[in-house]
Amino acid sequence: MAKADISPVIYNEARLARIAAEAAGRPRIWQSGMTVAQGEIVTSPLDWEDYQRITAAGSGSTDPADDVANYLARSYRRVTALPNATAALTNSSSQMLLGSSQTGATLAVDTRTLMLSLSGRGSIRFLGARQPNSQVRSRRLEVFIDGRNVYDATVAYPAAQSYILVAGSAGGGMSGSLFVPAYTALPTADIPFKRSFEAWATTSAGGDSSTSFTLNYMFEPEA
């Protein structure tokens, strides 16, 4: 008669944590170097959202919140890219778009400048950039969500004092007025971020040594 295997079972800290998490019916909290099975859902300590491993079982040092190659966001919609297409409004006034917030800066030629920085959790509902009066040149706009570059385009503005819309749209119009905004900003579906949102601008060489640049946006904070 064969003897029963009574060898001791070794439970290390990681295995105990996994057993405890499974018993509680919740995902494990991800840690650098821990092995995650394919299909397993883990919680990121960076943003406390849930992510599912979609590639073969493995470990690594990149938090699932930043690892778009191996993990799929399960508890929210993670944006990894915005359409690299723009719509231009060419008869705007020097005023801001109604319903949106506005930030501006003077850009030195070929110098990357941070135009907008938001931290925490929230959603962008509208994003547009305005070409100032009598300045027709190309400008590069970069957008980062939670550290990921989701938009990077150099746009040749069609005319002075025109808008390029990245997210959202605009309606109405009072062409030629310098006192009433030419358009009303219309929000789009949420573009959520869990840690940070940044927009950077760079102006091209040629013409004057510096140029003004305006960014319009709608932002909804989230607790």
C-beta of residue 32 within 8 angstroms of C-beta of residue 61: yes
Domain co-membership, 98 together with 32? no
- Over range 196-208, report the average pLDDT: 78
- Does residue 32 register a pLDDT over 70? yes
Domain co-membership, 62 together with 155? no
Has residue 2 been placed in a domain? Answer: no
Domain co-membership, 157 together with 209? yes
Domain co-membership, 91 together with 26? no
Q: Containing domain of residue 17, as a range? A: 13-73
- The residues, ordered by sequence, that sit 6+ positions from 197 with a Cβ below 8 Å of its Cβ are 116, 117, 118, 122, 124, 143, 144, 145, 219
Read off the pLDDT of residues 61-97 as tens digits, 9 standing for 90 and up: 999 999 999 999 999 888 887 766 556 665 555 556 7
Read off the pLDDT of residues 183-196 as tens digits, 9 standing for 90 and up: 667 777 678 899 99
- DSSP H/E element including 15: helix 13-24
Residue that the structure tokens 């029963």 belong to:
4
| Domain's final residue, options 73, 100, 120 | 73
Has residue 6 been placed in a domain? Answer: no
Domain co-membership, 202 together with 103? yes
CATH code of 218's domain: 2.60.120
Has residue 4 been placed in a domain? Answer: no
With bands split at pLDDT 50, 70 and 90, how would you rate the model's confidence at 19?
Answer: low
Has residue 79 been placed in a domain? Answer: no
Has residue 1 been placed in a domain? Answer: no
Has residue 122 been placed in a domain? Answer: yes
Domain co-membership, 129 together with 215? yes
Domain co-membership, 60 together with 106? no
pTM over 0.85: no
**What percent of the chain shows pLDDT beyond 70?**
68
Distance CA 161, CA 163 (A): 7
Is pLDDT larger for residue 106 or for residue 175? Answer: 106
- DSSP H/E element including 20: helix 13-24
CATH code of 51's domain: 2.10.10
Domain co-membership, 118 together with 200? yes
| Total domains, the chain | 2
Domain co-membership, 190 together with 105? yes
Domain co-membership, 105 together with 206? yes
Domain co-membership, 44 together with 93? no
Has residue 3 been placed in a domain? Answer: no
Has residue 97 been placed in a domain? Answer: yes
Distance CA 157, CA 128 (A): 12
Read off the pLDDT of residues 109-152 as tens digits, 9 standing for 90 and up: 888 999 999 998 889 988 888 766 556 567 888 999 999 999 99
Domain co-membership, 100 together with 149? yes
